[in-house]
Amino acid sequence: MKRNRENMEIVWQTPANPPERHDYIFRNGIRYVKPYYFEFISHAKNRWAGKTIVDLFADEFKGRNRDYYDSAVKSGRIQVDGKTVPVSYRVQSSQKISHFLHRHEPPVMAFDITVLHNGEDVVTVCKPASVPVHPCGQYRKNTVVGILQAEHDLAPLFPIHRLDRLVSGLLILARSASQADIFRQQIETGVVQKQYIAKVVGEFPEEEQVVNLRVNFNAREGRSTVEAENVDEKGNSTSNGKAACTKFTRICTNGKFSIVSCHPITGRTHQIRVHLQSTGHPIANDTLYLTDRIDNGSRRGYTAHKNAVKSSNHSLKVNSEDNHNSQPEDSVEDFDIDPMCTNCPNLAPIGYDGSEEGLWLHCVRYSGPDWVYECPYPDWASLS
C-alpha cells in the first residue's frame, strides 16, 4: 500500500472539483470512490461561541474521539478563518471553521445509470437503487449527478424531482436552472402525474385503493407515520403531519406477493411506503415498514423469499460488473493511506455494513401538460 510521506503535498478538493472516471473503484459488484482530501466548512453557531476549538469538535462532532481532534488542530487540519490556531483557541460566533479530512464515501451498487433521453433541455435516466440523486451527507461523487458527470460528461444537471436513495427508476434532470423551475412549478401546481410500481406482501385487493392519511416524518428516526384527519369543534385540524393521498391499483398477484401501480397525488417523505403499510400490504423487502399487521402466511412467504432475493441481488451485482466494460477490478493499492485518517485503510467508511438492498419500489412514469417520460420495468416486477 502506498503511504503518504510527511512532506508529501496534499491536494485538497472542494465542491468545485468535478468527479472523474478514475475516481471510482469497482469490486464484487460494488462501486467505491477512492478516498480523497476534502475541506468541510461550517460557520460557528452562537451557542459555540466561547468554546475551545477542541471542545467544540468533541462536543458537536462525535464521530471521532477527542485525541483525534486535538491532533487535527495541532497539525492544521482544523482551522479557523483559514488560519491554524492553538488547541486553547476559543471560537467566536460566525467564524469560518474548516476541517480538512481524508474523505471516505459510502459505496453503492455498481449498476449502470442508463441514459433514457438526452435532449437539449432535459436528460432522463434510469436511476439504480442505492445511489443518491445529488450530494448529501457522506455522498458527493457516488451520486447520480456525480456519476453522470464523470462517465457521461453530462453537466450541469438540475434534478426536478427526487427519488429516495433505495428507490430506483425514472429520474428527470433539467439542463438549466430555468428549465428546472418550469418543471417544478408544474409539479407544485398539481398538473404532473406520477406513477410508481411496488412489489408488496400478500394478495392486494383487486379494486382501486385510495389512501387519504396524513404523513408525519420523524427525521430523528428516519421514518414516517400516518394518521387520519381529525378536526376540533371549530373545524380546525388537530392532526400532525401533512395531508397526503395515494391511489393504488393491483397489476397482478400470485397470492404471496402483488405488483401494485402507485399514483401519489402529493409528495411526502416515504408516502408510498407508509401508505402501503397502512393497507396491510407493505413493500415486500421494506424492513423499515414491515410490521406485525402482516398475516403469518404472508410473513412466512416474505421470509422464505428474502434469502433467494439476497442471492439474486449478489448475482445481479456480479453480472452488472461483468457487463460494464469500463469497470475493471481494482486493488487497494490504488489509493494512498493517510496516517491521520480514522477510516483508512478501508475503502468504505467505518459503520457501513454493506448489507443493504434496493427497495422494490420503482418510478416508471412522469407526465405533464405536453410531455411524457417513462422508464422500463425492473426484473422484480414479474411474478412468474
Active-site residue list: 164
Residue 297, Ramachandran bin (φ over 0: left; ψ between -120 and 50: alpha; else beta): alpha
Of 155, 189, 180, 148, nearest in space to 24 by CA = 148
C-alpha–C-alpha distance, residues 198 and 364, integer Å: 10
What is the separation of C-alpha 319 from the centre of its chain, rounded to a whole number of angstroms? Answer: 23
Q: Is 237 in contact with 229 (CB distance < 8 Å)?
A: yes
Name the strand (E) or helix (H) holding 104: none
Of 347, 358, 274, nearest in space to 320 by CA = 358
Amino acid in the structure at residue 130: S
Of 122, 210, 113, nearest in space to 163 by CA = 113
Phi and psi at residue 333, to the nearest 5°:
-70, -5
Q: Is 353 in contact with 229 (CB distance < 8 Å)?
A: no
Q: Is 109 in contact with 317 (CB distance < 8 Å)?
A: yes
What's the CA angle centered on 354, arms 349 and 359, to 5 degrees?
A: 125
Of 223, 239, 233, 169, nearest in space to 198 by CA = 169
